[in-house]
Amino acid sequence: MPDNLDQVATSSSQEPTVALAVVGAHLRGQPLNWQLQEAGARFVEATFTAPCYRLYALASTQPPKPGLVRVISKPGAPIAVEVWEVPLRTFGKFVMDVPAPLGIGTLLLASGLAVKGFICEPSAVSDDSGATEITSFGGWLAYLDSLKANGH
């Protein structure tokens, strides 16, 4: 059983925090990172999920966003994420602003730790959803880099 960081922890400032893994538009340098900054979050580390996830570029989201889905019946891969400490006092508002088909659930990291993180409803990545499978890129930033390299 993995260690759990998804419970309330105490940051170096002694304020209760929640460890949150972000995978796409909230990463450093991405268009929604300001929401983490506004919530008073602190960057902890860049790491990977356990190899039990698949990553998709969601259709028709603005700004563009990925969807991370845990898989059981088919192979997954480690996906690049960033872990942030979000103050408990602002975590609820941050979660309330997460639009469907995304949500906050529990992610398993490559280290074996379990943290809260962005997950995606399976219906948003179904065969008829328009989502594009991008697991082979290993993360959202690598996928975006590939688009730039191909002139998109």
Residue 13 belongs to a domain: yes
Q: What is the pTM of this model?
A: 0.90
Domain that holds residue 30: 9-149
The pLDDT confidence band at residue 2, using thresholds 50, 70 and 90, is very low
Q: What is the rounded distance in angstroms from the CA atom of residue 94 to the CA atom of residue 151?
A: 34
Task: Tokens 């991405």: give the residue.
Answer: 30
Cβ atoms of residues 111 and 27 within 8 Å: no
Domain count along the chain: 1
Residue 2 belongs to a domain: no
Residue 1 belongs to a domain: no
CA-based end-to-end distance of the chain: 43
Share the mean pLDDT of the chain.
93
Task: Tokens 């997460």: give the residue.
Answer: 98
Residue 129 belongs to a domain: yes
φ, ψ of residue 133 to 5 degrees: the values are: -70, 125
Residue 1 has a pLDDT of: 38
Task: Tokens 């996928």: give the residue.
Answer: 143
Residue 3 belongs to a domain: no
CATH number assigned to the domain comprising residue 126:
3.10.490.10
Span 99-112, mean pLDDT? 98
Residue 66 belongs to a domain: yes
CA proximity to 115, closest of 141, 131, 91 = 91
Residue 137 has pLDDT above 60, yes or no: yes
Residue 60 belongs to a domain: yes
Residue 70 has a pLDDT of: 97
Residue 125 belongs to a domain: yes
Q: What is the rounded distance in angstroms from the CA atom of residue 121 to the CA atom of residue 66?
A: 11
**What is each CA distance from 129 to 56, 119, 124, in whole angstroms?**
11, 16, 6
Span 130-149, mean pLDDT? 97
